[in-house]
Structure 1
């Protein structure tokens, strides 16, 4: 009885370790990297048995071959590369194998798009965010405070929330109407010729408030708007009497009380 049991157990183990007397889909490799009993075996209803070696490399293989880092073959291992290797192969820098490396600023900025998430570049995040417009507007740079020099070096940066609170000089505020309307230019003394340039949006520019009468007299719609009520005292008689419509408007009620004197 004991002999029969022993024989049965041996037979089961043998079959479990390696399928016996079956028709394989292809031949076993002559020099397999792992023993077949560790492979995944499966049987297809019509095509017989098939086999597949485990889809992974050893830790030593992963360490010795940096090109395998970040692949499914090595992701399960915990190992690191020296900073020199991470720098020599920028593809590795954002990966887990280089997570503990501290990179120099020049390397981070030169590879800003690739390294925006790299741990070793986080101390230079502002420099990375302002190195490329696509990064500046990305979620990776949300909440990063840009310095005044960066905000005024690129009009695309100036309109971002990253530049809120930065005071722009008048020379930069006159770059465009869009920038002049930003709160960053509220204390800038904008020149009259820029404020009275025919763009009616300038009525909203805080830096143009001292020229409100000149702006409002450019359009009948503006002259009768609530935005121009504060200009009733400052608008000049000359501005009011250049056009009959403007002269009769709400803007000129205080400066031209005798509407009969308005031009015909």
Structure 2
């Protein structure tokens, strides 16, 4: 047992001292960056001794050679370069070695694509992001606050961006197709815009407060299910258009609508109006007075107008 321990200690000491006349897996480099006795040595059962140098540079080497910054050889060190060097070598500017540098606005903006993530340029984030629409919609620009004219000029691309949400209505009203899209679902539209585009915006959340105005902008809308909850005014319902008999929003004026024509007065659609139609409406015309619409209100047909 003692013999084995003695042999093991002797082997370790001989390896650490880089023993001569051993079988190497490969040749030593002609100009090693570190002394071989500081390397990691090991012995393979069949293939002899092998060695491996550390896969890194010294701190001094990293500092003296800026081109090595950001590589695996220097990532483990904590060091930084002066702002002048970071500016003279834009590749370094976004890296850790330039994280503490405070860059001037013109440098940040001129190199926006590379500098948008740089800590030293964050105070100019919006100025950088508006340099390119694709940059403005990217993740690094998520916290940028954009001016109104930039948002509206690029409405289709910017409608989803956080930095333009305070101008959502302004962007959505730039294009009717955009106004009806999902990103504009929460936009509050002005009345004139809603009415001018009533057919397309009848279902838009941002126009529901003007539902009656939209429904009265087009008779085909007024009689549709989209206007079922609209409270339509009497003058709109009783306008001589026979289609209004189908409008749910005009049901309270059904008697007035039905008394506009003999065709309607005798139709099955007007039977529900027999109780609500006024005597005044029934006695304005002999034909209407004699119609089935007025059977309940004028039982003595002899009193009908001649």
TM range (shorter): 0.7 to 0.9
Contact 1:216-1:223 at 8 Å conserved across structures: no
Structure 1 position 191, deviation (Å): 7.3
Point out the more displaced range, 65-74 or 198-207.
198-207
2:87 — aligned with what? 87
Between the aligned partners of 2:254 and 2:58, the Cα distance in structure 1 is 92
Q: Is the 8 A contact 2:159 2:172 kept in 1?
A: no
Give 2:290's aligned residue.
none
User: Which residue number in structure 2 is paired with residue 70 of structure 1?
Assistant: 70
Match of 2:54 in 1: 54
Alpha-carbon separation, structure 1, partners of 2:178 and 2:111 = 31
Q: Select the residue among 227, 236, 251 that pairs with 2:249.
A: 251
The CA deviation at 1:182 is 5.4
Unpaired runs of 5+ in structure 2? Answer: 1-7, 265-306
Gaps of 5+ in 1: 1-7
Q: When the two structures are superposed, what TM-score results if normalisation uses the length of structure 2?
A: 0.66
Aligned partner of 1:212 in structure 2 is: 214
Map Cα deviations across residues 65-98 of structure 1 (whole Å, 9 max, x no partner).
2111001111122222222322232221111111
Q: How far apart, in 1, do the equivalents of 2:141 and 2:31 lie?
A: 51
- Work out which structure has the larger RCO, using CA pairs closer than 8 Å and 6 or more positions apart in sequence: 1
Separation of aligned partners in 2, 1:37 and 1:240: 107
Say which is worse superposed, 45-54 or 231-240, in terms of deviation.
Answer: 231-240
What's the CA shift string for 1:151-183, capped at 9, x where partnerless?
2221121333332333755x9714234347555
Matches of 2:107 and 2:145, distance apart in 1:
22
Contact 1:24 1:49 in 2 (8 A): yes
| Distance in 1 between residues matched to 2:143 and 2:65, nearest whole Å | 38
Contact 1:212 1:235 in 2 (8 A): no
Higher helix fraction: Structure 1 or Structure 2?
Answer: 2
For residue 43 of structure 1, give the secondary structure of its aligned residue in structure 2: strand
Query: CA contact under 8 A between 1:116 and 1:140: conserved in structure 2?
Result: yes
SS at match of 1:71: coil
1:56 and 1:82 map into 2 onto residues whose CA distance is 23
CA 93–247 in structure 1, closer or farther in 2 if over 3 Å, else same: farther
25-34 vs 251-260, greater mean Cα deviation: 251-260
Equivalent residue number for residue 161 of structure 1: 162
**Displacement of 1:187 after TM fit?**
4.2
Range that drifts further, 155-164 or 34-43: 155-164
For 1:190-201, list aligned pairs within 5 A. 190=193, 192-193=195-196, 195-196=197-198, 198-201=199-202
1:124/1:132 CA distance change after superposition, 3 Å: same
Question: Which residue is equivalent to 1:4?
Answer: none
Give me the TM-score of the superposition, normalised by structure 1.
Answer: 0.74
In structure 1, the residue matched to 2:128 is 128
- Corresponding residue SS for 1:199: helix
Shift of 1:149: 2.8
Q: Which moved more, 1:227-236 or 1:19-28?
A: 227-236
Indicate the SS of the match to 1:54.
Answer: coil
Give SS of 2:230's match.
helix
Q: Which has the larger radius of gyration?
A: 2
Deviations 1:179-228, CA, capped at 9 Å, x for gaps: 475555534742744x13x42556534399274124564347x7234x55
